Amino acid sequence: MKRPLLFITLILSSVLFAENPFISKQNEGIKFFEGTWKEAITKAKSENKHLFLDISASWCGPCKALKAYTFPNSEVGAFFSKNYICKEVDGEIGEGIELAKQFRIEGYPTLIFLDKNEKVIMQTAGFRPANVFIELGKQALGK
C-alpha cells in the first residue's frame, strides 16, 4: 500500500513543480507598481513613460489567465518595463472601485493604456496572449 502511494506522490510532485518552458519565470515578467494610482502617475511623469492599468477581479477567469500566462512572459516584462509604469488593481476593492468608475469599465479584465498626462490612448477588455499584448503596447506608443 505504501509503495503505490509513494509512487503517485512522486509523479504528482514532478508534474506540479516541473518547470514549464511555455511560461516564463514570474520575476521576468511585468513588474507592477506597488504604490497608489496617483503615485504611479507621478512616477510616469518623472520617468517620461506611459501608463498601463490593468483593472481585474479576483473571480475573473480571463484575468487569471493574463496573470498566469501573459504578464509573467519575459518579452512582455522587458517591453513594458522599458516603456510603461504598470499598475494593477482589483475593480471591486479599494482604489480599484473608483478607477473602475472613472474609466467606465464594462468587463474584466480591462486593459488601459495612457500617456504620462493621464490621457487614455487605448482601452480594451479581455485576455491577450503575450505577442498580441506587446503589439497593443506598441500601438499605444504609436510604434
Average pLDDT over residues 48-55: 98
**pTM for this predicted structure:** 0.80
Provide the pLDDT confidence category of residue 22 given band limits of 50, 70 and 90: very low
Q: Where are the domains of the chain?
A: 29-141
Note the pLDDT tens digit of each residue in 79-132.
Answer: 999 999 999 999 999 999 999 999 999 999 999 999 999 999 999 999 999 999
- The predicted pLDDT at position 143 comes to 72
- The helix or strand, by DSSP H or E, that contains position 51, with its residue range, turns out to be strand 50-56
Whole-number Cα distances in Å, 26 to 20, 30, 31, 67, 76: 12, 8, 9, 10, 11
- Residue 90 has a pLDDT of 98
Best CATH choice for the domain 29-141 from the list 3.40.50.300, 3.40.30.10, 3.30.70.260, 3.30.1490.20: 3.40.30.10
- The owner of cell 506598441 is 138
Cα(109)–Cα(54) distance, integer angstroms: 7
Three-state DSSP class for residue 43:
helix
